[in-house]
């Protein structure tokens, strides 16, 4: 999720209520939308990090190596995108811990 937030400038599921329904959807495999202008290889790496089985996600050392390699092969440029900019979070989106009832 951090890789997606870095890519888009938006928190995952910022447009949805953070209630039981969203938790169930995430457990069922729902993931945030992926922007199409991402660097080649970045999206694949990000999706591997979203694997439902934590044991099948790449270790952080692999992530560091692959991200460095991506940057060396194709240095990223900061660009304006209609997907990035001021946003309004859903009023029921929660970005800090709370007791779920």
Q: What is the pLDDT of residue 58?
A: 94
Domain of 10, in residue numbers: 2-73
- The helix/strand/coil state of 30 is coil
Q: What is the pLDDT of residue 65?
A: 92
Whichever domain contains 23, its CATH number is 1.10.510.10
- What are the per-10-residue average pLDDT scores of the chain (101 residues)? 79 82 87 78 89 93 89 68 59 60 56
The reply to whether the predicted model has a pTM over 0.85 is: no
C-alpha distances (whole Å) from 79 to each of 1, 30, 53, 56, 82 are 20, 28, 34, 32, 10
For residue 62, tell me if it sits in a domain.
yes
5 and 13 Cβ atoms separated by less than 8 Å: no
Q: What percent of the chain has pLDDT over 70?
A: 72
For residue 44, tell me if it sits in a domain.
yes
Q: What is the pLDDT of residue 26?
A: 85
**63-80 tens-digit pLDDT:** 999 988 888 887 766 555
For residue 94, tell me if it sits in a domain.
no
Mean pLDDT of all residues belonging to the chain: 78
Q: Which residues contact 29 (CB under 8 A, 6 or more apart)?
A: 52
């Amino acid at each position: 999720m951090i890789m997606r937030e870095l890519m888009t400038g938006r928190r995952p599921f910022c447009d949805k209520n953070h209630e039981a329904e969203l938790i169930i959807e995430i457990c069922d495999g729902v993931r945030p939308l992926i922007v199409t202008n991402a660097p080649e290889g970045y999206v694949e790496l990000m999706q591997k990090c979203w694997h439902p089985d934590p044991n099948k996600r790449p270790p952080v050392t692999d992530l560091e190596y692959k991200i460095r390699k991506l940057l060396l092969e194709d240095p990223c440029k900061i660009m304006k995108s209609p997907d990035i900019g001021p946003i309004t979070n859903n009023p029921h989106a929660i970005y800090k811990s709370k007791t779920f009832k």
